[in-house]
């Protein structure tokens, strides 16, 4: 097993499929949180989750059950994947990690160290999506269909079921199926945000 970063296409251009960088969000609904005092209590709890011990707890579980502490900074996770998945996985989704991860970390193997190096190197080719914060009416109505067109074509292109022309055809289908309207709307939202 190995780790590799962004790949270079036949035209020399670096290509990658990044995520938006958002792992989700936490919402505090007015329907269930009625007072400012309750909101403050929830925000205090979320803030406390940033403490090192709670980051470790929500990320790795209980010492002696889900992990073994190696030293003051590192741990070794249990090899019992059923235990980890049923009792630990997903708890860290509510942790903001502000300003950073401060809890214990998994002991670094050569492969993990290489992964970190590759991630740092890939920062050089990141292009931020300026449309990320906008809410699109078009996408809320046609997003599933538009996403399916591109995702299906991407997979077919990668595995060789379609060629460059097939990829361009899929993009044209995307445009005709609402993609052009989506691009127009996002450009208008972006322009309005700059004025």
Taking 90 as the threshold, does the pLDDT of residue 87 lie above it? yes
- Residue 192: φ, ψ to 5°: -65, -30
Place of tokens 């292009």: 127
Mean pLDDT of 108-115: 91
* The predicted structure's pLDDT at residue 25: 74
Domain extents for the chain? 36-125, 130-194
Q: Position of tokens 């209590």?
A: 41
Going by C-alpha positions, the residue among 90, 84, 93 that lies closest to residue 62 is: 84
How does residue 22 score in pLDDT terms, banded at 50, 70 and 90?
low
pLDDT confidence of 26, banded at 50, 70, 90? confident
Contact yes or no for 104/73 (Cβ under 8 A): yes
**Residue 27 burial (C-beta neighbours within 10 Å; 0-12, 13-18, 19+):** exposed
Tokens 């970190």, located at residue? 116
Q: What is the mean pLDDT of the chain?
A: 90
Q: Give CA–CA dist 73/150, Å, rounded.
A: 43
The fraction of the chain above a pLDDT of 70, given in percent, is 96
pLDDT > 80? residue 23: no
Which residue has better confidence, 100 or 154?
154
| Alpha carbon distance, N-terminus to C-terminus of the chain | 50
* H/E stretch holding 166: helix 164-174
């Amino acid at each position: 097993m190995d780790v590799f970063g962004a790949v270079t296409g036949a035209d020399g251009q670096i290509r990658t499929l990044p995520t938006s960088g958002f792992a989700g969000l936490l919402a505090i609904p007015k329907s269930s949180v009625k007072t400012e005092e309750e909101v403050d209590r929830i925000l205090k709890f979320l803030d406390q989750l940033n403490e090192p011990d709670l980051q470790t707890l929500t990320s790795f579980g209980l010492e002696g059950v889900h992990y073994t502490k190696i030293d003051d900074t590192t741990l070794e996770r249990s090899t019992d994947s059923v235990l980890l998945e049923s009792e630990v996985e997903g708890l860290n989704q509510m942790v903001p990690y502000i300003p950073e991860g401060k809890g214990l970390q998994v002991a670094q193997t050569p492969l993990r160290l290489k992964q970190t190096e590759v991630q740092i190197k890939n920062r050089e080719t990141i292009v931020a999506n300026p449309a990320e914060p906008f809410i699109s009416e078009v996408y809320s109505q046609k997003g599933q269909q538009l996403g399916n067109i591109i995702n299906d074509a991407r997979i077919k292109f990668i595995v060789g079921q379609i060629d460059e022309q097939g990829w361009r055809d899929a993009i044209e289908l995307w445009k005709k199926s609402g993609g052009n309207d989506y691009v127009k709307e996002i450009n208008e939202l972006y322009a309005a945000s700059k004025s």
